[in-house]
Amino acid sequence: MGTTTSTNKKISIELQHTLQLSNNGVGHDWNNFLSINKNVIKKGEKLTVELKKRAPLRIEAHAIEEDKNYSDAGEKHMDFTYSDLISIKESSRFEMDVIVMENGGQNAGNLAKWKFIFKISKVE
């Protein structure tokens, strides 16, 4: 019988920057993070993920302005297939823009916009 070797491919995801592009009175107490398979990483943090052939990877960017009465939140996501991820040579940089709308008070309807910049790298 032949021997089979199973090489599990892994990637690392790092949230490099969260940049506030605009804020028209939405607030000042922000919590920004990426969510990957229900794991949370903040700016400067990394998460290593094992790739699975039939399981797409969803990366969600969340911007939450935390008020004591009501929080305002925005979210955007990117889905990656196994093929997308194994085709990354060394590392690739991605960006997502997230818009948050003020839900209440005198500034209801105003918007804040954030840019999330993250890097996906192969793990040896």
38-85 pLDDT, tens digit per residue, is 999 999 999 999 999 988 999 999 999 998 778 899 999 999 999 999
Q: Which one has a higher pLDDT value, 105 or 23?
A: 23
Residue 77 lies in a domain: yes
Q: Answer for the pair 30, 64: CB distance below 8 angstroms, yes or no.
A: yes
Residue 43 lies in a domain: yes
Residue 62 lies in a domain: yes
CA dihedral over 89, 43, 103, 69, signed as positive or negative: positive
CATH number at residue 61: 2.60.40.150
Residue 112 lies in a domain: yes
Domain count, the chain: 1
Residue 2 lies in a domain: no
What are the CA-CA distances from residue 16 to residues 13, 32, 42, 73, 115 (Å)? 9, 12, 9, 21, 11
Residue 70 lies in a domain: yes
pLDDT at 107: 86
Cα separation, 71 vs 102, in Å, equals: 8
Residue 1 lies in a domain: no
Q: Answer for the pair 16, 33: CB distance below 8 angstroms, yes or no.
A: no
Q: The domain containing residue 84 runs over which residues?
A: 10-123
